[in-house]
Protein backbone atom coordinates (compact mmCIF):
# COMPACT_ATOMS: atom_id res chain seq x y z
CA UNK A 1 0.00 0.00 0.00
CA UNK A 2 0.99 3.64 -0.19
CA UNK A 3 1.54 3.88 3.56
CA UNK A 4 4.22 1.19 3.36
CA UNK A 5 5.96 3.28 0.70
CA UNK A 6 6.26 6.15 3.21
CA UNK A 7 8.44 4.11 5.54
CA UNK A 8 11.49 4.10 3.22
CA UNK A 9 10.74 7.68 1.98
CA UNK A 10 14.19 9.24 1.60
CA UNK A 11 14.44 12.91 2.58
CA UNK A 12 18.06 13.28 1.48
CA UNK A 13 18.15 11.47 -1.86
CA UNK A 14 14.64 11.59 -3.31
CA UNK A 15 13.70 9.02 -5.93
CA UNK A 16 10.73 9.00 -8.32
CA UNK A 17 8.18 8.16 -5.59
CA UNK A 18 9.45 10.97 -3.37
CA UNK A 19 9.27 13.51 -6.23
CA UNK A 20 5.74 12.41 -7.10
CA UNK A 21 4.56 12.53 -3.49
CA UNK A 22 6.16 15.94 -2.99
CA UNK A 23 4.28 17.20 -6.06
CA UNK A 24 1.00 15.88 -4.64
CA UNK A 25 1.76 17.47 -1.25
CA UNK A 26 2.35 20.86 -2.87
CA UNK A 27 -0.50 20.66 -5.40
CA UNK A 28 -3.19 19.66 -2.90
CA UNK A 29 -1.75 21.23 0.30
CA UNK A 30 -1.73 17.91 2.14
CA UNK A 31 0.75 15.71 3.99
CA UNK A 32 1.10 11.93 3.91
CA UNK A 33 -1.72 9.57 2.98
CA UNK A 34 -3.95 10.03 6.05
CA UNK A 35 -2.00 12.89 7.64
CA UNK A 36 1.46 13.91 8.85
CA UNK A 37 1.54 11.09 11.41
CA UNK A 38 2.08 8.68 8.51
CA UNK A 39 5.76 9.68 8.57
CA UNK A 40 6.31 8.70 12.22
CA UNK A 41 7.54 5.23 11.17
CA UNK A 42 10.00 6.74 8.67
CA UNK A 43 13.69 6.40 9.52
CA UNK A 44 14.55 9.90 8.22
CA UNK A 45 11.76 11.37 10.37
CA UNK A 46 13.49 10.00 13.45
CA UNK A 47 17.06 10.71 12.27
CA UNK A 48 16.33 14.35 11.42
CA UNK A 49 14.59 15.10 14.72
CA UNK A 50 10.94 14.49 13.91
CA UNK A 51 10.98 16.59 10.76
CA UNK A 52 8.51 16.08 7.95
CA UNK A 53 9.34 16.40 4.25
CA UNK A 54 9.52 20.09 3.31
CA UNK A 55 6.66 19.56 0.84
CA UNK A 56 4.31 19.04 3.82
CA UNK A 57 4.59 22.71 4.82
CA UNK A 58 3.73 26.01 3.16
CA UNK A 59 6.24 27.92 5.28
CA UNK A 60 9.44 26.39 6.56
CA UNK A 61 10.99 27.58 9.79
CA UNK A 62 14.77 27.66 9.20
CA UNK A 63 14.30 25.20 6.33
CA UNK A 64 12.54 22.71 8.62
CA UNK A 65 9.00 21.37 8.42
CA UNK A 66 7.69 20.49 11.87
CA UNK A 67 4.40 18.71 12.42
CA UNK A 68 2.88 21.78 14.10
CA UNK A 69 3.43 23.81 10.90
CA UNK A 70 2.46 21.06 8.45
CA UNK A 71 -0.69 20.54 6.42
CA UNK A 72 -3.11 18.77 8.74
CA UNK A 73 -5.07 16.71 6.21
CA UNK A 74 -3.84 13.64 4.40
CA UNK A 75 -3.72 13.54 0.62
CA UNK A 76 -6.17 10.63 0.29
CA UNK A 77 -9.03 12.64 1.81
CA UNK A 78 -8.33 15.77 -0.25
CA UNK A 79 -7.87 13.92 -3.55
CA UNK A 80 -11.00 11.84 -2.88
CA UNK A 81 -13.05 15.04 -2.37
CA UNK A 82 -11.50 16.55 -5.51
CA UNK A 83 -12.40 13.50 -7.61
CA UNK A 84 -15.96 13.44 -6.25
CA UNK A 85 -16.44 17.13 -7.01
CA UNK A 86 -15.18 16.92 -10.58
CA UNK A 87 -16.73 13.53 -11.36
CA UNK A 88 -20.16 15.12 -10.88
CA UNK A 89 -19.18 17.86 -13.30
CA UNK A 90 -17.96 15.35 -15.88
CA UNK A 91 -21.15 13.28 -15.54
CA UNK A 92 -23.25 16.44 -15.92
CA UNK A 93 -21.40 17.46 -19.08
CA UNK A 94 -21.80 13.94 -20.47
CA UNK A 95 -25.55 13.98 -19.82
CA UNK A 96 -25.80 17.43 -21.44
CA UNK A 97 -24.01 16.21 -24.57
CA UNK A 98 -26.22 13.11 -24.71
CA UNK A 99 -29.35 15.29 -24.54
CA UNK A 100 -28.05 17.52 -27.34
CA UNK A 101 -27.38 14.47 -29.48
CA UNK A 102 -30.88 13.14 -28.77
CA UNK A 103 -32.43 16.47 -29.79
CA UNK A 104 -30.32 16.49 -32.97
CA UNK A 105 -31.48 12.93 -33.76
CA UNK A 106 -35.14 13.85 -33.25
CA UNK A 107 -34.73 16.91 -35.48
CA UNK A 108 -33.04 14.81 -38.18
CA UNK A 109 -35.94 12.32 -38.12
CA UNK A 110 -38.43 15.21 -38.39
CA UNK A 111 -36.55 16.69 -41.38
CA UNK A 112 -36.45 13.29 -43.12
CA UNK A 113 -40.18 12.72 -42.57
CA UNK A 114 -40.96 16.22 -43.79
CA UNK A 115 -38.83 15.65 -46.90
CA UNK A 116 -40.65 12.34 -47.55
CA UNK A 117 -44.02 14.11 -47.29
CA UNK A 118 -42.88 16.79 -49.76
CA UNK A 119 -41.72 14.13 -52.24
CA UNK A 120 -45.20 12.55 -52.21
CA UNK A 121 -46.72 15.93 -53.02
CA UNK A 122 -45.06 16.22 -56.44
116 pLDDT higher than 80? no
Q: pTM score, two decimals?
A: 0.68
- Write the pLDDT tens digit of every residue in 18-73: 899 999 999 999 999 999 999 988 888 888 888 899 999 988 878 888 888 899 99
Q: Tell me if 75 sits within 8 A of 31, measured CB to CB.
A: yes
How far apart are the C-alpha atoms of 79 and 52, rounded to whole Å? Answer: 20
Q: Tell me if 52 sits within 8 A of 67, measured CB to CB.
A: yes
Q: Tell me if 37 sits within 8 A of 72, measured CB to CB.
A: no
pLDDT at 22: 92
Average pLDDT, the chain: 88
How far apart are the C-alpha atoms of 10 and 26, rounded to whole Å? Answer: 17
Domains contained in the chain, CATH given: 2-75 (1.10.1450)
Amino acid sequence: TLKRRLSPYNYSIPQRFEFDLDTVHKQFACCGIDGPTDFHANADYKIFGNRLPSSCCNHLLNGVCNEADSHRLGCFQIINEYVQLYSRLIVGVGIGIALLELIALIMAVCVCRNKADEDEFY
